[in-house]
């Protein structure tokens, strides 16, 4: 078992990584917790035992269910079950579950503890860690949410063996991101160590910038275009697939701005291709719509904003030229025979 601490003072917590880690759940619940509300989805065939009285609350499948209506329904059911601040929410699932359950926990009774049992690669290396919770609006992804740090996070790598191939590939998109955030040659590590290495990178960033006032924005590398593509396509693209395209696009934008050279762009393409991830836009993508959606991104506080690589590493760049962003989309268009 590998334990990584997220150092946030009195909100600090541990992330447990390893095969069979879910068996540790009873030991990481808040002291004195009376009951657990286990939030999951019908398609997640993973049962957990929190070791105390508990009730299972299912939420709908898919990214389209990540909305305020789902949060409202969940909170109504919490209230009907008599859930109190002396209880705990246990989120069992991928990013949709931890985002929705975490947000519900943040707002129900103005905050009840939450423990995440992440069951997907994407969730284990990214979504379940850091306390960012949120849901989507029709205008964009993750536009409504709260910072609500979990009491603990469990990443049981045994759960990854049953992932459908596309879900596993989606996680690889986030994994590819960490190559450019100090992860180095992650593909050479055993699975447990690979997950733990990503967790350690994110934990270090979150510990230094809990509310995304500075350095934490780097964790959104590749995400500005990714979120726009997800919304524009009605979430037909998986998140990690969209991030992979976003990484290549971000490299191309950085190159056009003179921030990185052609070799760095080639390295982005090599990493993405090495994980057998997409690197081109879905056919029929409306370029203007995508750039409009990028302008609504929650990071866009100083005009069109992207996280880009450069001489000082990955960092936010503001006031980007719309025409340049539109033109650069041609660099990630699919090649037609």
- Would you call 216 a catalytic residue per the annotation? yes
- Would you call 223 a catalytic residue per the annotation? yes
State the catalytic residue, choosing from 174, 230, 241, 252.
174
DSSP letter string, 213-271: SSGGGGGGTTHHHHHHHHHHTTT-S-HHHHHHHHHHHHHHHHHHTTSS-HHHHHHHHHH
Match 């967790």 to its residue by tokens.
199
- Would you call 142 a catalytic residue per the annotation? no
State the catalytic residue, choosing from 66, 179, 220, 299.
220
C-alpha 140/C-alpha 230 separation (Å) is: 9
- Would you call 132 a catalytic residue per the annotation? yes
State the catalytic residue, choosing from 227, 255, 268, 299.
227
State the catalytic residue, choosing from 132, 238, 255, 268.
132
- Would you call 212 a catalytic residue per the annotation? yes
Q: Are strands 88-93 and 53-58 parallel, antiparallel or unpaired?
A: unpaired
- The helix-helix angle for 287-295 and 223-232 (nearest 10°) equals 120
As a whole number of Å, the CA-based R_g of the chain is 19
State the catalytic residue, choosing from 212, 230, 241, 252.
212
State the catalytic residue, choosing from 141, 202, 268, 299.
202
State the catalytic residue, choosing from 110, 185, 319, 336.
110
State the catalytic residue, choosing from 238, 239, 268, 299.
239
C-alpha 112/C-alpha 132 separation (Å) is: 15
Q: What distances in angstroms separate CA 6 from CA 15, 140, 153, one per listed residue?
A: 8, 29, 10
Question: H/E/C letters for each residue in 69-108?
Answer: HHHHHHHHHHHHCCCCCCCEEEEEECHHHHHHHHHHHHHH
- Would you call 66 a catalytic residue per the annotation? no
DSSP letter at 66 equals -
> Any idea which residues carry the catalytic annotation?
110, 132, 174, 202, 212, 216, 220, 223, 227, 239
């Amino acid at each position: 078992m590998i334990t990584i601490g997220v150092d946030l003072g009195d909100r600090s917590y541990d992330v447990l990584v390893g095969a069979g880690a879910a068996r540790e759940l009873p030991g990481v619940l808040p002291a004195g917790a009376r009951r657990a509300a286990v939030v999951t989805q019908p398609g997640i065939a993973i049962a957990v035992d929190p070791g105390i009285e508990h009730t299972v609350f299912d939420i709908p499948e898919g990214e389209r269910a990540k909305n305020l209506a789902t949060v409202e329904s969940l909170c109504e059911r919490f209230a009907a079950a008599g859930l109190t601040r002396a209880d705990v929410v246990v989120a069992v699932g991928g990013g949709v579950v931890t985002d929705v359950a975490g947000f519900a926990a943040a707002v129900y009774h103005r905050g009840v503890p939450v423990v995440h049992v992440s069951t997907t690669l994407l969730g284990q290396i990214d979504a379940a860690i850091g306390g960012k919770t949120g849901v989507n609006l029709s205008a964009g992804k993750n536009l409504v949410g709260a910072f609500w740090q979990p009491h603990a996070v469990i990443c049981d790598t045994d759960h990854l063996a049953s992932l459908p191939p596309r879900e596993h590939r989606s996680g690889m998109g986030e994994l590819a991101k960490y190559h450019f955030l100090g992860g180095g040659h992650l593909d050479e590590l055993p699975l447990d160590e690979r997950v733990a290495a990503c967790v350690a990178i994110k934990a270090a960033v979150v510990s230094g910038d809990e509310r995304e006032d500075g350095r934490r924005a780097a964790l959104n590398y590749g995400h500005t275009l990714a979120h726009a593509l997800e919304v524009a396509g009605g979430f037909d693209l998986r998140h990690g697939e969209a991030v992979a395209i976003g990484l290549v696009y971000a490299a191309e934008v950085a190159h056009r701005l003179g921030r990185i050279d052609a070799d760095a762009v080639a390295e982005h393409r090599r990493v993405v291709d090495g994980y057998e991830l997409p690197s081109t836009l879905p056919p029929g993508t409306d370029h203007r719509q995508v750039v409009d959606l990028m302008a609504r991104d929650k990071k866009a506080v100083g005009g069109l904003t992207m996280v880009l690589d450069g001489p000082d590493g990955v960092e936010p760049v503001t006031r980007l030229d719309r025409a340049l962003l539109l033109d650069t989309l041609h660099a990630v268009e699919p090649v037609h025979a």
